[in-house]
Amino acid sequence: MKRVFLKTVAVALAALAVGNAFAADITGAGATFPFPMYAKWAEAYKKETGVGLNYQSIGSSGGIRQIRAKTVAFGATDAPLSGGELEKDGMVQFPAIIGGTVPVVNLDGFKPGELRVTGPVLAEMYLGKITKWNDAKLAALNPGKTLPDQNITIVHRADGSGTTFNWTDYLSSVSKEWADTVGKGAAVKWPAQSSVGGKGNEGVAANVTRVKGALGYVEYAYVKKNNMTFLQLQNADGKYVSPDDATFAAAAASADWFSVPGMGISMVNAKGANSWPVSTASFILMYADPADKAQSAEVLKFFDWAFKNGKTMAADLDYVPLPDTLTAQIRSKVWSQIKK
């Protein structure tokens, strides 16, 4: 009887182990920009399938390091790798979601979107050339507004960041001085004398909320989550626009995704009257010949489910889901390169 009991327990444990193996959590790491979206997708996906997502929101540079070290099944970055880097690493890359980076401030007495700024003036603020909120250039853009005689404290990312890459890409596109002296990158030397760094979108949002007179940049989901005050931004057509899913979608409307290897296009300063000037995609990195093919297959199942079922959730957070025509191309042109 004892032998029968032990055999039964062993079979039960073996069955449980097999079940857990099939329901192993997916591992990923990288960009903080899409983290609110991935967290929401992951919660719904686990309820439906029993498979969880263990995603480390550590910044794009961290995600690239993790996937290159093969400690996760996918990396996430808002600063896409070049075709040469992808080929060297043996990886493929595809966009997962579209959103926008937004200038946010801590100024008493102003509502979100009440104040306006142009790209060149924003660059001068980040260069440290405009140091007061009542500077004549800001006053000229906001007639009838009483701007405070208050110092501007620049808040930036302290970690390697795809959000920073896109932010500095934008500043480079609107300011020759920024392009020549600072340039674009996941990490740059910030020139403004009065500045403070924060880790992740979370850290920048926290510092802007904490420091009076602060000016920072975060993904729009963090603006909504923290009830932050944002600036309207002048776009390439000369129109002042506010950030939301409609203005992000307008910027992405004419994107030619397969014009560059790895689909790593830039959408900053996109043409269009309704386009948000700092719109961007967040990208997924995977190995074409993964060491753990079962885990890689689970990643594709997750994003396939998200592309089909996650559109409403994306819109709720003011991200822009990829259109069905594009996700079909990703399946046929990109996922087909990944060995099963």
Pairing between strand 74-77 and 279-287? antiparallel
- State yes or no: pLDDT of 17 exceeds 70: no
How far is C-alpha 305 from the chain's CA centre? 20
Minimum mean pLDDT range among 4-13, 102-111, 116-125: 4-13
Q: What SS3 string covers 237-255?
A: CCCEECCCHHHHHHHHCCC
Token pair in block for residue 321: 């889901």
47-95 pLDDT, tens per residue?
Answer: 999 999 999 999 999 999 999 999 999 999 999 999 999 999 999 999 9
Are residues 295 and 26 in contact, defined by beta-carbon separation less than 8 angstroms?
yes
How distant, in Å, are the alpha carbons of 44, 168, 187, 191, 278 from that of 292?
Answer: 25, 36, 31, 44, 36
Banded model confidence at residue 2, pLDDT cuts 50, 70, 90: very low
- State yes or no: pLDDT of 22 exceeds 60: no
Rounded-to-integer distance, Cα 171 and Cα 121, Å: 10
Rounded-to-integer distance, Cα 222 and Cα 172, Å: 24
How distant, in Å, are the alpha carbons of 113, 200, 215, 231, 327 from that of 240?
Answer: 10, 27, 18, 10, 31
What percent of the chain has a predicted confidence (pLDDT) above 70? 93
CA–CA–CA angle 81, 87, 92 (5° rounding):
65
Handedness of CA 99, 104, 110, 114 (dihedral sign): negative
- State yes or no: pLDDT of 9 exceeds 90: no
272-314 pLDDT, tens per residue?
Answer: 999 999 999 999 999 999 999 999 999 999 999 999 999 999 9
Residue whose C-alpha is closest to residue 38's, from 80, 124, 96? 96
Token pair in block for residue 171: 């500043």
**What pLDDT was estimated at residue 23?**
53
Give, as one character, the DSSP assignment of residue 195: E
Banded model confidence at residue 12, pLDDT cuts 50, 70, 90: very low
